Amino acid sequence: MIINAEIISRPDSGEYSERIFDVESAWNSQSWTFVRFTDENYAQWCGQFRGERKSVAISEISKRTLILTSDYLFSIDLNNGDLIEFYERPGYINLIAINDGNFLVSDYYNITKILDKLSITKHVESPIQMDLIKFELWDGNFLNFSCDEFLNWNRHLKMRYNSKSDEVTIL
């Protein structure tokens, strides 16, 4: 079972056993993201994913890891490293795992909760229209993040997402 996943630079040939996760599409970029996976025996292997690197997050509860690139959002099974599903052209900027087994993603303006499958999502409401969202750190059940108020870029805000109530508040 995979216990860790981290984005790395392109490895040297033969450094790790490698698996390529590619989706045939005329719209694919020429970029690749490399993710080093570590299993419970501390054996490591590398996954190669189409698109520029963005983020990776693991959920032991849902037994999956999500890899976000510029081209795709990939869902990988923690038990065997197989591709579960992918979402094409996601447009997301941020990705983070939630302590309930789900994931949060955001583009510049909206936060979305990914539930059991990549296609099952829930929009997270905010008290303001947001721009330039940037996830920061978890504090218990609260995700701290920053953003600007949309069309009021001089108003830089610290915000908080409550994973129990799915509410966003301004700090």
Task: Give 9-42 pLDDT, tens digit per residue.
Answer: 999 999 999 999 999 999 999 999 999 999 999 9
Residues 74 and 150 in one domain: no
Residues 114 and 53 in one domain: no
pLDDT bin (cut points 50, 70, 90) of residue 116 is very high
Residues 166 and 144 in one domain: yes
pLDDT at 168 over 90: yes
Q: What's the pLDDT score for residue 12? A: 94
Q: What's the pLDDT score for residue 135? A: 98
Residues 122 and 50 in one domain: no
Residues 102 and 169 in one domain: yes
Pick the last residue of a domain from 73, 91, 109: 91
Residues 87 and 98 in one domain: no
> What total number of domains does the chain contain?
2
Q: What's the pLDDT score for residue 85? A: 98
Residues 85 and 3 in one domain: yes
Tell me the pLDDT tens digit for each residue of 124-163: 999 999 999 999 999 999 999 999 999 998 999 999 999 9
Residues 11 and 87 in one domain: yes
Residues 107 and 87 in one domain: no
| Average pLDDT value for residue range 95-118 | 96
Q: What's the pLDDT score for residue 145? A: 98
Residues 104 and 41 in one domain: no
- Enumerate long-range contacts of 116-119, CB under 8 Å, 24 or more apart: 116/62, 117/75, 117/85, 118/73, 118/75, 118/85, 118/86, 118/87, 119/85, 119/87
Question: In angstroms, rounded to a whole number, what is the distance separating the alpha carbons of residues 5 and 46?
Answer: 9
Q: What's the pLDDT score for residue 153? A: 82
Task: Specify the CATH number for the domain of residue 73.
Answer: 2.40.10
Element holding 107 (H helix, E strand): none
pLDDT at 108 over 90: yes
Range of the domain at 156: 92-171
Residues 71 and 104 in one domain: no
What percentage of residues in the chain have a pLDDT greater than 90? 98
pLDDT at 100 over 90: yes
Pick the last residue of a domain from 76, 91, 106: 91
Candidates 102, 121, 120; CA nearest to 112 is: 121
pTM: 0.93
Q: What's the pLDDT score for residue 77? A: 98
Residues 5 and 70 in one domain: yes
pLDDT bin (cut points 50, 70, 90) of residue 87 is very high
